[in-house]
Structure formats: structure tokens, C-alpha cells
Amino acid sequence: MPAAILDGNKIAAEIRGEVAAEVKALSAAGMRPGLAVVLVGNNPASEIYVRGKVKSSGEVGLYSEQHTPSERATTQELLELIAELNRRDEIDGILVQLPLPPHVDSKKVLLAVDPAKDVDGFHPMNVGFLSTQRPGLVPCTPAGVMEMLERSKVKVAGQEAVVVGRSDIVGKPMAMLLLNANATVTVCHSKTRDLPGVCRRADILVAAIGRAGMITKDFVRPGATVIDVGMNRVTDAGGFGRLFAGNSKREETFRNKGSVLVGDVHPEVAEVAGAITPVPGGVGPLTIAMLMSNTVKAAKMRRWSHVAELART
């Protein structure tokens, strides 16, 4: 029996609907949440991502603004922009679109974002809150995966979970969220011995390694839930043939566009998995939905704490 498809578009639409209702209620109380996106230079891929984020903000009713410093902007100029956004009370979330130009100290810029407005969840303070199970802002992609598992009624507590990839953005926070949800978690990477054997132990396998179709059938225990976080563009005919030979729909896309999107999981895995996320239409839509959700969460945490402080004085 082929794997059940975990529909990220459907779940993201549910989350956006819930966020829109919250934004409406907060706005009626004079607390419309606000998101500022900083896009430095003219990176075409980043521009597409930012357009999607700004569009989604409008759809759920968030106030949003875009700041577009030039490619030549210095680290100091970006720090001054971040400081200004930190001071503005109507801005609840600040998102610095990566990558930044090579001459900019990216770590310094990200560290300058007020942790209470860090809707990407990258600040060390939010990382610490996550690791110690305190309220904070969680990276959007791993948070989206947890929403998908919960809303799809995939059991997490007591299950063996394997995360392939150890990035600060996905792999590490994903492992921490699964651990906090009472899974037994193994994190794998390029130095892991017998990677297929370790992955085959998983009830829940999360692939976030950034290599097209790397996770094949022999990595997957029959019936496992497979979450594909990867998003890779295949442009060569050889790579396409390895992944999609005989898939007429994908072949037509490849002929027309000269490329096709594929995750870190080989399409053949759908033959053995119990449930799987598609690419596209799986984890991707949830990342933007959780950015909207994080902005609302930041607004409530920030502004309600201000109200509480005023009440005490």
C-alpha cells in the first residue's frame, strides 16, 4: 500500500485561518501585530521568499513592512536598522532574510535582534528557552513539522525519531522539539556510521541534510513516517533520471522548465513508508504559516508583559 500523503498545504491553510482569527481579535483590541522583513541586496531566491512572506502577512491581516538596504550596506548600517526596529513598539517580529552579503557579519546582525522579536527563533536566548522548555520563539520549519505530526495524529511520545542533519536552523531544534515531546531522538550527520542502519530504526524519520534524493528505500523501516525538509532543484538529465525515471508528470515539468524540485527523500520511499510529506507541498508551506503564528505569539508575549508591568507600577 502506498504511503499516506501528509498535505502541508492543507495544514498550513488551517494554521493561517487560526492566525487570521487571532490577528482580528488583537487588532480589535488595538494590538495589531506587526512584522518587519529586512532584505539586503538583490538575491532572486531571497526576493521570492520575501514576497511570499509579505503576501501571507497581508492575507492574515498582519501589519508588515519591508526594508531593502543595498548590497553595499555595511554591518554597522544593518545594526542601526535593527536597533531602530527593536525600539518600535508596533513591530513585534523582525526577520532578517538570509543569506546576507559576504562582507556582512551575519552572526552579529542576527544577535542584534531583540529576542522577544526574533520570529525566526535563531537568537541564543530563544535556543536556550527551547532547550530548557521555557516559553519562547521556535524556528519556523521545525515548529511546522511538529504541527504537521500533531494535526495528522502521528504519535510522537515513546517513538524512535531520527533526524538526518544537524543545522542550527532545522536539525538541532527539530531534535529538541521531538525530545521535548517525549520521543527517543538520534541526530545523524555526514560522519554517522551506517547511516541507513540508524535511519531504519526510526518510527519518525526527518530528512534535513540538503542532498537531493539521498534517503532511499533502504534507509526506511516499512510503515515509518517520513518528513522531508529538503528542497533541491535538479537541473541535469542524469540526476533527473535517477529520481524520476518513468514519471510522466515530472518529465513534462523537466522538459518545460529545465529543472524540477525534489526533497532529500527519493520518491521510491513512498513505496515503503506509512506516511510521507511531498515536495513541493509538504513542509514548505508550513514554514511561512509558522512565521505568521510566531509573529502573533511575539505580539502577545511582548505586549501582555508590558501591560502586566504597567499594572504593577
DSSP calls for 179-225: HHTT-EEEEE-TT-TTHHHHHTT-SEEEE-S--TT-B-GGGS-TT-E
Closest by CA position to 297, among listed 96, 130, 116: 116
Q: Are residues 178 and 264 in the same domain?
A: yes
Query: Residue 313 pLDDT more than 70?
Result: no
Q: Is residue 293 part of a domain?
A: no
- Residues 6 or more apart in contact with residue 56 via CB below 8 angstroms: 16, 288, 289, 291, 292
φ, ψ for residue 261, nearest 5 deg: -90, 140
Within a domain: residue 23? no
Half-sphere exposure of residue 41: CA atoms within 13 angstroms, side-chain side: 16
In a domain, 178, yes or no: yes
Residue 273: give its domain's CATH number. 3.40.50.720
DSSP label of 230: -
Write out the H or E segment, with its range, that includes residue 27: helix 8-28
Kindly tell me if the per-residue pLDDT of 310 is higher than 70.
Answer: no
- For the cut 50, the answer to whether the pLDDT of residue 183 exceeds it is yes
CA distance linking residue 122 with residue 173, whole number of Å: 10
Going by pLDDT thresholds of 50, 70 and 90, the confidence category of residue 204 is very high
In a shared domain, residues 187 and 261: yes
Per-residue pLDDT tens digits for 10-28: 999 999 999 999 999 999 9
Q: What is the pLDDT of residue 120?
A: 95
Task: Say whether 260 sits in a helix, a strand or coil.
Answer: strand
Work out whether strand 93-96 and strand 63-67 pair parallel, antiparallel, or are unpaired: unpaired
Give yes or no for a cis peptide into 44 (omega within 30° of 0): no
pLDDT at residue 82, as a whole number: 98
At residue 82's C-alpha, the angle toward residues 99 and 114, to 5°, is 100
Q: Does a structural domain hold residue 191?
A: yes
Banded pLDDT at 43 (limits 50, 70, 90): confident
3-state class (DSSP) for residue 155: coil
Least confident of 101-105, 155-159, 303-307: 303-307
Label residue 49 by pLDDT band (50, 70, 90): confident
- Residue 140 to residue 158: CA distance in whole angstroms: 24
Nearest CA among 186, 203, 204 for reference residue 195? 186
- pLDDT given for residue 125 in this prediction: 96
Residue of higher predicted confidence among 165 and 1: 165
- Same-domain status, 110 and 224: no
Q: What mean pLDDT is predicted for residues 125-151?
A: 97
Range of the domain at 165: 140-284
pLDDT of residue 42: 86
Domain shared by 157 and 265, yes or no: yes
C-alpha cell at 196: 541507513
The residue type found at 85 is L
Q: Which of 53, 117, 172, 297 is catalytic?
A: 53
Residues near 294 by Cβ (< 8 Å), separated by ≥ 6? 93, 119, 120, 121, 137, 138, 140, 143
Catalytic residue among 92, 114, 118, 120: 120
Number of domains in the chain: 2
Element (H, E) at 159: none
pLDDT of res. 251:
87
List the end-to-end C-alpha distance of the chain, in Å, as a whole number.
64
Domain-embedded: residue 13: no
Q: Tell me if residue 53 is catalytic.
A: yes
**How many other CB atoms are there within 10 angstroms of residue 43's CB atom?**
17
In whole numbers, what is the pLDDT of the chain averaged over residues?
94
Q: Report residue 305's pLDDT band, with 50, 70 and 90 as the boundaries.
A: low
Query: What's the DSSP call for residue 97?
Result: P
pLDDT over 90 (residue 213): yes
Radius of gyration of the chain (CA): 20
Compute how many other C-beta atoms are within 10 angstroms of the C-beta atom of residue 141: 23
What percent of the chain shows pLDDT beyond 90? 82
* Per-residue pLDDT at 297 exceeds 60: yes
pLDDT on residue 306:
56
CB atoms closer than 10 angstroms to residue 59: 12
What are 62-113's pLDDT values in tens digits? 999 999 999 999 999 999 999 999 999 999 999 999 999 999 999 999 999 9
Are residue 105 and residue 183 in the same domain, yes or no?
no
Query: Strands 225-228 and 204-207: what pairing?
Result: parallel
What CATH number is associated with residue 60? 3.40.50.10860
Mean pLDDT of 160-173: 97
**Choice among 92, 97, 159, 203 that is catalytic:** 97
Asked whether residue 156 carries a pLDDT value surpassing 80, the answer given is: yes
On whether residue 109 sits in a domain, the answer given is yes
Pair (144, 280) in one structural domain? yes
Q: What is the pLDDT of residue 303?
A: 83
20 within a domain of the structure (yes/no): no
SS3 163: strand
Same domain (yes/no): 70, 164 = no
Q: Is 194 a catalytic residue?
A: no
Q: Mean pLDDT throughout 186-208?
A: 97
Is 218 one of the annotated active-site residues of the chain?
Answer: no
